[in-house]
Amino acid sequence: MKKASKIPIFKNEEEERAFWSKNDSSEYVDWDVSEKVAFSNLKPTTKTISLRLPEYIIDELKVLAHKKDVPYQSLIKIFLKDRIDQELRQAL
């Protein structure tokens, strides 16, 4: 069996993402001896955006968020994700 190549050290996540998009992991990892692991505390990479909303929508979101006991910005993310999933299901 061929010896796996050494994985380079990356400066940041973007550099690593670019590397793996162009390289086959089978050249760098011996999957025959790999083990399953769980990364329970991983958070998805986020990007800050600016979104202008009417104040009444923000107020209504805050009321709903309070009822659900979640931060209103988290509730916005939940609503967006639910709607994106719904739209994608309909597109199929």
**Domain-by-domain residue ranges, the chain?**
13-91
Give the DSSP H/E element, type plus range, for residue 14.
Answer: helix 13-22
pTM for the full model?
0.54
pLDDT confidence of residue 72: 96
Contact assessment for residue 73 and residue 48, using Cβ atoms and an 8 Å cutoff: no
pLDDT confidence of residue 1: 55
pLDDT confidence of residue 91: 81
**Over residues 7-22, mean pLDDT:** 93
What's the CA gap between 24 and 19, in Å, rounded? 9
Q: What is the pLDDT of residues 39-69, one digit of tens each?
A: 878 888 888 999 999 999 999 999 999 999 9
Task: Please determine, for residue 37, whether its predicted confidence score (pLDDT) is greater than 90.
Answer: no
- Interacting residues of 45 by C-beta distance below 8 A, sequence separation 6+: 13
- Interacting residues of 61 by C-beta distance below 8 A, sequence separation 6+: 72, 75, 76
